[in-house]
Amino acid sequence: MSVTFPEGIRAAGVGAGIKEGGALDLSFVGFTDGMAHIGAAVFTQSGAAAAPVLVSRAHLDQTKGRLRGVLLSSGNANALTGDAGQQAAELMAAACAEHLGGEEHEYLVCSTGLIGIPFPADRIRPGVELIAEEMGTDPRAGERAAHAIRTTDTFAKQAEVAGIGFRVGGMAKGAAMIAPNMATMLCVLTTDATVSAERAQSALGWVVDQTFNRITIDGCTSTNDTVVLLASEVGAEPGPDFEERLLEVAAKLAYSIVSDAEGGSRVGRIRVVGGASVAEAELAARGVASSLLVKCSLLGGDPYWGRVLAEVGAALPGVDISSVSVSYQGVKVCEGGVESASRLSLADRRRLDHRMGEREIVVEIDLGQGQDTVEVLTSDIGHGYLEENRGTS
């Protein structure tokens, strides 16, 4: 599973000294011929966007979707670092142009790690020199690239699928500061399909809205969120399954992020059905998925429907609560806005008790108002998250 799964894609991951101890911390994904091909990206909407986001936005606008690759660093977010941070982000692109060819604006740059810490810009040029030597098209090269963008991640997040006449691969990082407002964390998606810049950007935007914009771990939007799509144009123009396969890879990566939540032990699928509109269903799903009380219930394996209804009411002030039902793991515990668990058979109670101990918990809320459905992924929250984040992290 790798960004190098599609034809025409190369990658590398090296230790540049941004992190201590020689860990992998600088990653590159680009095209095997070293030339510019189709690229698209979405970025955080935060008003505190990091320097790499500002530089990459400008580069994408300038090239109109023709890129040579993306350079990603981990260990330091280069966020809220002033003019020096801006210069460091520009240096990342300049080093790529110097050692990999082309112009500075043909490269996007990303960083992740601690916020507000001066960025070690002196590590970039030597690191890119190493990348130029280590570049490869095999799965190992893709795996090293995925490992090099990890911070508190416990594993490298990768995915791949084959479409009809094309392939899609991807890598991502993220375990906390996850409540996307456009994309999330860092992610690079790759394909060998031949698509226009317009289709690539449109497809990426749609996919992000369906996946990365529907996950939450702690309700915190990052300063550095970036999702990039690179298309090598090696193959033919794909049919309508292109967007679906891109969605499939992104969905796998999004799930990996939530399953790796800092201090987390469970994934919650908050599924709202019966919405009068997608917007209504999404508001309800987000409200429940973001609730600290609901997250605590997930941690305890407690099917506490009352907290769920409270969040639905807060998200949808006009809701008819008497039409709402709630099920945990397929077992209905609330119907018509009131408790119904006491009417369960002994077999259903035992099934619910057993299934509330599983790694994934599905909470389904039926609004009883229409046909629209939205699902948001969340995690439980526990002592591990507090230990990880009570200091600078």
Say whether 194 counts as a known binding-site residue: no
Contact, 302 vs 356, CB < 8 A? yes
Residue type, 353: D
DSSP codes, 300-331: HT---HHHHHHHHHHH-TT--GGG-EEEETTE
Say whether 78 counts as a known binding-site residue: no
Say whether 76 counts as a known binding-site residue: no
Question: Could you give the CA distance from residue 341 to residue 224 in angstroms, rounded to a whole number?
Answer: 44
Question: Could you give the CA distance from residue 10 to residue 34 in angstroms, rounded to a whole number?
Answer: 9
Contact, 196 vs 233, CB < 8 A? no
- Non-local CB neighbours of 333 within 8 Å, separated by 6+ positions: 303, 305, 326, 327, 339, 340, 341, 344, 352
Say whether 389 counts as a known binding-site residue: yes
Question: Could you give the CA distance from residue 51 to residue 40 in angstroms, rounded to a whole number?
Answer: 18
Say whether 157 counts as a known binding-site residue: no
Helices 197-210 and 241-259, axial angle in degrees (round to 10): 40
Classify the phi-psi angles of 150: left when phi > 0, otherwise alpha if psi is within -120 to 50, otherwise beta: beta
Could you list the active site residues? 184
Question: Could you give the CA distance from residue 272 to residue 296 in angstroms, rounded to a whole number?
Answer: 20
DSSP codes, 279-299: HHHHHHHHHHHH-HHHHHHHH
List binding-site positions for substrate: 151, 173, 184, 262, 389
- Binding positions: 151, 173, 184, 262, 389
